[in-house]
Amino acid sequence: MAGRPSTLEELSLHDRHCMTAISRDDVAHLAHLARLAVTEQELDLFAGQLDVILASVAHVADVAADDIPPTTHAVPLTNITRPDVIGPSLHPQDVLAAAPAAEGGRFRVPRILNEPA
Amino acid sequence: MTGGSASFTSASAVEIAALIGAGEASAVEVTQAHLDRIESEDGALHAFLRVDTDGALSAAQAVDDRRAAGEPLGPLAGVPLALKDVVVTKGLETTSGSRILVGWIPPYDATITTRIKAAGIVILGKTNMDEFAMGSSTENSGFGPSHNPWDLDRIPGGSSGGSSAAVAGCLAPLGIGTDTGGSIRQPAAVTGLVGHKPTYGGVSRYGLIAFSSSLDQAGPFGRTVLDTALLHEAIAGHDPADSTSIPMPVPAVVAAACEGAGGDLSGLRIGVVRELGGQGFTDGYEPGVLSSVAAAIDVLAGLGAEIVEVSCPHFGYALAAYYLIAPSEASSNLARFDAVRYGLRVGDDGVRGLDEVMALTRQAGFGAEVKRRIMIGTYALSSGYYEAYYGQAQKVRTLISRDFAAAFESADVLVSPSTPTVAFPLGARTDDPLAMYAADLCTLPASLAGTPAISVPSGLSEGLPVGLQIMAPALADDRCYRVAAAVESALDSDRGHPLLHELPSRS
């Protein structure tokens, strides 16, 4: 366990969180990436909260771990294969019954291209 | 036991199954008694999001019919259960505590739902939870919080707080929770229950609405260690439908609970984790919690266990690593709520495009904590930050697993408080996400390492329950149950009755 940042990368992270705050623009950008519409009030609220949370979790940089392999999963996984046996599937009607909009036996989606329908 | 609805609702699962098996009570009577109690008590507790009266009574009738036909019944046949709403149930609305899924009727059962039904266990309904299991109090539910039966102005823990309120409040003898960072153990601790997080992969995740896939694990709640172990065995085991499910036999947790209740722990080495409430690491821990846990450890020593102190220096980084890893996985998992295949759709006026409809739907359907975590995860995974945040958190995860491995060289199980405080008042932490996250301080290491851990009551502090956490190596879930049963048996015997008998509203 190291008390100080030990690489350039960690140092820059450490410094960034000592000096920089998450701005309303940063929140708006993140919300856009995550496909979340946000109100003006939410921009203010989340900017403050995300800043506090990120400053806290940036504490992971205090650990010297350059030569440590990452753990993606608690149980080491290799490819899982199984025989290609036909099993039961969901009936399309049952699946489409749960959709917000369905038409002609398919999911109906809003316009996906940049011109009006 | 002489029957009558009050005695059914205060009985253990083992007692109920015995009455039904012996023909001294019908499963329908038992189920009706619980439905009646839900009717009278759940207005105050709000443990259930929906009660499946017809489904419960017909499942109970099926058990009675099988018994009448002379068919063999399983050890929990006819016993009612409260099912967390993160678990999908065919034909029964499932929301995972989120407004975005209001009205969603799943077309299939989760594997654990299938196993519960196959065991003849009666599902009473779906319980409240923090939205998508993100929280420690149920206050992030899209449908209002649940209340702690010990004090209605306090939280029942979370995210599985509906199930803990239901079982502690005697609305059901058994409950199912899911635990990503502590969501079974912390609610069990603050309501005076037993709650176990199995080894990751020990219970199938097929049909759990995903929050953080490398951490999510379903497990049992009960009012006794033995009841909890029986439910564990009913739901656990390999499932080909979940590629992370472990293809190994289920640890013999029922036998371990019975052995532990015998009270002999000689030869067992118990490691007290210094970094979880030990000397120099008491910040944020209530003295009453620490003294209750210390007294329980003395009881274990009195049963012949050898107590050693162990150090796990990276546990102090578990909170930071978890609150990067879990939101990162959540931001990816929750991308599925795209307003196309299920759930809410907002703003589809024929003019707006898919991206805009998706954003408006997610704004309307997700609560504040879910939005925060999606944005934190999006940030942590974005290029330029990935290595410093997510990558570094995964390395810390490795170091935490190594701390466990080293500690288990000198101890067979590790112990700590389950959570640093007793149940806090509703509203006390809702404006401070970091204060809310601190409730997970003790439970996160086992989550990140994928190792099993149980919470068992150690006593009361200021009139509210305290939990002792017992952690074991992967696949050694039986050790958790053995030690928990030993503590339970010794403390019940010293006290003259189970802790839950001191619950003020009990009837």
Residue B365 lies in a domain: no
CB contact under 8 A, B395 and A46: no
**The pLDDT of residue B4:** 59
Residues of A in contact with B379 (CB under 8 A): 30, 50, 54
Q: Which residue in B has a C-alpha nearest to residue A27's C-alpha?
A: B375
- DSSP state string for B261-283: HT---TT-EEEEETTTTSTT--T
Best B92, B371, B434 residue to mutate vs chain A (most A CBs within 10 Å): B371
Q: How much is the pLDDT for B47?
A: 98
CA-CA distance, B5 to B2, in Å (whole number)?
Answer: 10
Least Cα distance to B349 among A82, A110, A91 occurs for: A110
Q: Is residue A2 part of a domain?
A: no
pLDDT of residue B369: 96
Q: Is residue A93 part of a domain?
A: no
Residue B353 is assigned to a structural domain of this protein: no
| Model pLDDT for residues B223-281, shown as the tens digit of each residue | 999 999 999 999 999 999 999 999 999 999 999 999 999 999 999 999 999 999 999 99
Return the CATH number at B456.
3.90.1300.10
Q: What average pLDDT does this structure show over B346-370?
A: 96
User: What is the pLDDT, as a whole number, of residue B309?
Assistant: 98
A52-85 pLDDT, tens digit each: 999 999 999 999 889 999 998 877 777 878 889 9
Q: How many CB atoms lie within 10 A of CB B456?
A: 31
The predicted pLDDT at position A4 comes to: 35
* Closest partner CB to B323 (pick from A12, A53, A100): A53
Closest alpha carbon within chain A to B247: A80
The answer to which of B83-87, B291-295, B334-338, B385-389 has the lowest mean pLDDT is B385-389
On whether any CB of chain B is under 8 Å from the CB of A117, the answer is: yes
pLDDT in tens, B54-80: 999 999 999 999 999 999 999 999 999
Q: Which residues of B touch A1 (CB under 8 A)?
A: 313-314
pLDDT at B506: 59
Task: Give the domain range for residue A33.
Answer: 8-62
Is A37 inside a domain boundary? yes
Residue A32 lies in a domain: yes
- The string of pLDDT tens digits covering residues B398-408 is 999 999 999 99
Residues of A in contact with B215 (CB under 8 A): 74
Q: Which residues of B touch A54 (CB under 8 A)?
A: 376, 379
**Separation between Cα atoms, residue A98 and residue B94, nearest integer Å:** 11
Taking the CA of residue B483 and the nearest CA in chain A, the distance in Å comes to 24
CB contact under 8 A, B399 and A107: no
Residue A75: what pLDDT? 74
Chain B residues whose beta carbon lies within 8 Å of the beta carbon of residue A91: 107
Q: Which helix (H) or strand (E) holds B28?
A: helix B27-45
**CB atoms inside a 10 Å sphere around CB B43:** 8
Residue A29 sits in a domain whose CATH number is 1.10.20
> Could you tell me the pLDDT band of residue B144, with boundaries at 50, 70 and 90?
very high
Considering only residues 46 to 65 of chain A, which have any Cβ-Cβ distance to chain B shorter than 8 Å? 46, 49-50, 52-54, 56-63, 65
pLDDT of residue B450: 97
Q: Cα B192 from chain centroid?
A: 13
Q: Do B395 and A65 touch (CB under 8 A)?
A: yes
Where are any strands of DSSP class E within B55-170?
80-84, 122-127
What 8-state DSSP symbol labels residue A58? G
Tell whether the model's pLDDT for residue A19 goes beyond 80: no
Q: What three-state secondary structure class fits B372?
A: helix
Q: Please indicate, yes or no, if residue B347 is contained in any of the structural domains.
A: no
Each residue of B465-500: b (16+ CB within 10 Å) or e? bbbbbbbbbbbbbbbbbbbbbbbbbbbbeeeeebbb
- Distance separating alpha carbons of residues B470 and B477, to the nearest angstrom: 10
In angstroms, the separation between the Cα of residue B437 and the nearest Cα of chain A is 10
Q: Does the residue B367 lie in any domain?
A: no
Q: How many domains does chain A have?
A: 1
Q: Which of A71, A89, A91 to mutate to test the interface with B (most CBs of B within 10 A)?
A: A71
Asked if A52 lies within 8 A of B434 by C-beta distance, the reply is yes
Measured in angstroms, the CA of B409 and the nearest CA of chain A are apart by: 19
Residues of B marked as catalytic: 84, 159, 183
Chain A CA closest to residue B365: A36
A70, closest residue in chain B (CA to CA): B395
Q: Which of B360, B368, B379 sits opposite A37 (nearest CB)?
A: B360
- pLDDT averaged over every residue in chain B: 96
Beta-carbon separation of A75 and B244 below 8 A: yes
Tell me the per-residue pLDDT of B173-191, one tens digit each, with 9 for 90 and over. 999 999 999 999 999 999 9
Domain that holds residue B241: 5-275+286-312+409-502
Q: Residue B410: phi, psi to the nearest 5?
A: -110, 0
Residue A22 counted as domain residue = yes
Mutate to test the interface with B, among A14, A26, A29, A35 (most CBs of B within 10 A): A35
- Those residues with Cβ within 8 angstroms of residue B430's Cβ, 6 or more apart along the chain or in another chain: B137, B139, B436
Distances (CA, A) of B262 to B15, B55, B99, B223, B471: 19, 39, 47, 18, 20
Residues of chain B with C-beta less than 8 angstroms from the C-beta of A72: 214, 394
| Inside any domain, residue A69 | no
- Confidence band, pLDDT 50/70/90 cuts, at residue A18: very low
How much is the average pLDDT of B128-138?
98
Query: Which chain B residues contact residue A71 at CB under 8 A?
Result: 394-395, 397-398, 401, 448
Q: Decide if A18 touches B, using CB distance below 8 A.
A: no
Q: Does the pLDDT value for residue B95 go beyond 50?
A: yes
In a domain, A101, yes or no: no
Put simply, whether A28 touches B (Cβ < 8 Å) is no
At A115 the pLDDT is 61
Residue of chain A nearest B387, judged by CA positions: A9
- Measured between beta carbons, which residues in chain B are less than 8 angstroms from residue A50? 372, 375-376, 379
Residue B461 has pLDDT above 60, yes or no: yes
pLDDT tens profile B439-449: 999 999 999 99
CB atoms within 10 A of CB B364: 15
The residue in chain B having the minimum alpha-carbon distance to the alpha carbon of residue A36 is: B359
Q: How confident is the model at residue B154 (pLDDT cuts 50, 70, 90)?
A: very high
A104 lies in some domain? no
In angstroms, the CA B278 to CA B298 distance is 15
What is the total count of domains within chain B? 1
Q: With respect to residue B228, please indicate whether it lies within any of the assigned structural domains.
A: yes
